[in-house]
């Protein structure tokens, strides 16, 4: 989803979770977003994983929730 700069910060809600050296979790009107760096692991036997969480609600449902409809 492409969001213009004039609308971007309107999506944020007050709940935010931070921890030094970890990604930031930010609640938005469309759900939670995660951004930032992941911790650096120097152990060659440790695996790093990437994942995607997806809500099954339709785009129309999410937009209606955002627009208050």
* pLDDT of 20 higher than 80: yes
Residue 40: pLDDT band by 50, 70, 90 thresholds? low
Separation of alpha carbons 53 and 33, rounded Å: 10
pLDDT of residue 41: 66
User: Which own/partner pairs from 2-7 qualify as long-range (CB within 8 Å, at least 24 positions apart)?
Assistant: none
Percent of the chain whose predicted confidence (pLDDT) is above 90: 16
pTM score, two decimals? 0.52
Q: State the residue for tokens 């969480």.
A: 53
Q: State the residue for tokens 């910060």.
A: 9
CA proximity to 28, closest of 16, 37, 20, 38:
16
* pLDDT of 15 higher than 90: yes
Q: What average pLDDT does this structure show over 16-20?
A: 90
Residue 17 near residue 28 (C-beta atoms within 8 A) = no
pLDDT of residue 27: 92
């Amino acid at each position: 989803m492409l969001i213009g700069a004039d609308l971007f910060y309107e999506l944020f809600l007050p709940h935010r979770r931070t921890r030094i050296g970890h990604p930031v979790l930010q609640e938005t009107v469309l759900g939670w977003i995660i951004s930032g760096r992941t911790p650096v692991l120097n152990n060659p036997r440790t695996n790093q994983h990437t994942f995607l969480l997806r809500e099954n609600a339709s785009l129309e449902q999410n937009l209606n929730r955002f627009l208050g409809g």
